[in-house]
């Protein structure tokens, strides 16, 4: 049986939620990942260093006995985030980045930024302190087609930020288009991107052919296989250190997704590294997985790589139909389907 050993990965984009929901899912990420950049789009959002520390402590208290998983906290930027808020976040040992959600772009982004000019003092402070800016890279203009919102964001907002803040570390999160992959590959080295397992493994046909499949609905929305999914596979397996692992695992109650107005988000924490292994193996690039999953992320953030090793075996298993989620259910990515790689317990 084919097996590989890699440095323990990290998840550079993860939604853990809070309370009972968080306690239902955090163990799955902790079983696979050394660290995770934990998204701040709670209700209410994590807007200050004090709130970030409280959320950090809540997560740590929920970890299984003996777990060494480290949550890396993120500040949620609003129109009112000041340079002082950033300074306080920089001084808080739990906070590693700040996140720009264009207001209204995605789940719990209502308090996000309405115009980036409002946060220029905060971005100035981040650039000075070396704190990365994480982006949900989509415009919200109702005139712009939902499939084009990432490309338009790059042409308008992102290219302007890159020009105005040449020393700011920027991560374009969960990229979904060839436009994004090409832009990041040719941008200066302070600009990187995360790629999700679902954008590598599926495309909009999975969501829309044969009936609407709400569990494939996420933002940015799944795109075409050619050129977009193929471009993401090429970028992830290119060994270019600008592209690294970020699952965007985003659990929602099954019933909130199976609705006349279903919410956006795909849950993948149950099998994150195995899903990536399957995607890489599918294009004959399993030997490139370790760089993407375990090296390029910490290198970009200026952190050390994990010292533990994990083993992955080529072995099929069937994903459960659902997992418990705060007394209800969450339907995982690939539910009821086979995954061809499996992480072995250490
Ligand atoms: C995320 C969520 O549910 O919090 N949903 C999603 O579709 N990706 C928010 C986000 O990352 O945009
Ligand atoms: Zn997002
Ligand atoms: Zn996300």
* Strand locations in 196-308 (E): 243-245
pLDDT at residue 302 in the model: 98
Q: How far is the CA of 252 from the centre of ligand 1 (A)?
A: 10
Report the distance separating Cα 27 and Cα 39, nearest Å: 16
Residue with the smallest CA separation from ligand 1 atom 12 is 106
What residues are paired with 244 via a beta bridge?
194
pLDDT at residue 178 in the model: 98
Which regions in the chain score pLDDT beneath 70? Answer: 1, 345-346
List the catalytic residue out of 10, 179, 248, 281: 248
CB neighbour list of residue 341: distance below 8 Å, 6 or more residues apart: 273, 274, 277, 278, 281, 312, 313, 314, 315
Q: How far is the CA of 6 from the centre of ligand 3 (A)?
A: 25
Active site residue 248: yes
Taking the CA of residue 106 as reference, the ligand 1 atom at the shortest distance is 12
Report the distance separating Cα 319 and Cα 339, nearest Å: 7
**pLDDT tens per residue, range 84-124:** 999 999 999 999 999 999 999 999 999 999 999 999 999 99
Q: How far is the CA of 14 from the centre of ligand 3 (A)?
A: 6
User: Mean pLDDT of all residues in the chain?
Assistant: 98
pLDDT at residue 346 in the model: 58
Q: How far is the CA of 327 from the centre of ligand 3 (A)?
A: 23
In the chain, what is the straight-line distance between the N-terminal and C-terminal CA atoms, in Å?
17
Report the distance separating Cα 151 and Cα 176, nearest Å: 9
Tell the residue number behind the tokens 């087609």, with chain if given: 145
Residue 149 Cβ < 6 Å to ligand 1: no
Output the pTM of the full model. Answer: 0.98
Q: Which ligand is closest to the CA of 136, given by its number? A: 2
Instruction: Retrieve residue 52's tokens.
Output: 């970030």
User: Could you tell me how far CA 242 lies from the centroid of its own chain?
Assistant: 14
Residue 190 Cβ < 6 Å to ligand 1: no
Residue with the smallest CA separation from ligand 1 atom 9 is 107
pLDDT at residue 1 in the model: 64
Q: How far is the CA of 34 from the centre of ligand 1 (A)?
A: 22
Q: C-alpha distances in angstroms, 162 versus 113, 191, 218, 317?
A: 17, 8, 26, 43
**pLDDT tens per residue, range 199-254:** 999 999 999 999 999 999 999 999 999 999 999 999 999 999 999 999 999 999 99
Residue 106 Cβ < 6 Å to ligand 1: yes
Mutate to test the pocket of ligand 1, among 219, 247, 325 (most ligand atoms within 8 A of CB): 219
What residues are paired with 194 via a beta bridge?
244
């Amino acid at each position: 049986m084919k097996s590989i050993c890699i440095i323990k990965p990290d998840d550079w984009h993860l939604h853990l939620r809070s309370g009972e929901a968080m306690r239902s899912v955090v163990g799955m990420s902790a079983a696979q990942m050394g660290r995770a950049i934990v998204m701040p789009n709670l209700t209410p959002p994590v807007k200050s260093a004090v709130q970030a520390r409280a959320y950090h402590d809540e997560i740590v208290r929920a970890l299984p006995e003996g777990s060494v998983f480290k949550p890396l906290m993120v500040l949620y930027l609003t129109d009112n985030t000041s340079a002082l808020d950033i300074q306080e976040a920089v001084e808080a040992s739990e906070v590693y980045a700040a996140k720009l959600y264009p207001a209204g772009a995605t789940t719990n982004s209502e308090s996000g930024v309405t115009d980036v000019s409002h946060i220029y003092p905060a971005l100035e402070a981040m650039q000075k302190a070396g704190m990365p800016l994480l982006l949900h890279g989509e415009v919200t203009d109702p005139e712009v087609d939902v499939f084009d919102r990432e490309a338009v964001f790059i042409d308008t907002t992102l290219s302007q930020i890159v020009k105005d803040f040449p020393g700011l570390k920027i991560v374009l999160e969960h990229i979904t288009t060839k436009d994004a992959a090409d832009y990041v590959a040719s941008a200066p080295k302070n600009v990187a991107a995360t790629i999700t397992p679902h954008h590598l493994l599926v495309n909009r046909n999975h969501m829309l052919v044969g009936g609407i499949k709400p569990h494939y609905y996420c933002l940015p929305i799944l795109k075409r296989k050619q050129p977009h999914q193929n471009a993401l596979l090429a970028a992830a397996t290119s060994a270019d250190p600008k592209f690294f692992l970020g699952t965007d695992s985003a659990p929602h109650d099954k019933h909130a997704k199976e609705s006349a107005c279903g919410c956006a988000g795909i849950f993948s924490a149950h099998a994150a590294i195995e899903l990536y292994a399957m995607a890489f193996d599918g294009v004959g690039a399993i030997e490139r997985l370790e760089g993407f999953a375990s090296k390029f992320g910490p290198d970009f953030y200026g952190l050390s790589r994990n010292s533990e090793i994990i083993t992955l075996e080529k072995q099929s298993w069937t994903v459960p139909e659902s997992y418990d989620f705060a007394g209800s259910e969450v339907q995982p990515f690939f539910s009821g389907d086979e995954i061809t790689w499996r992480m072995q317990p250490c």
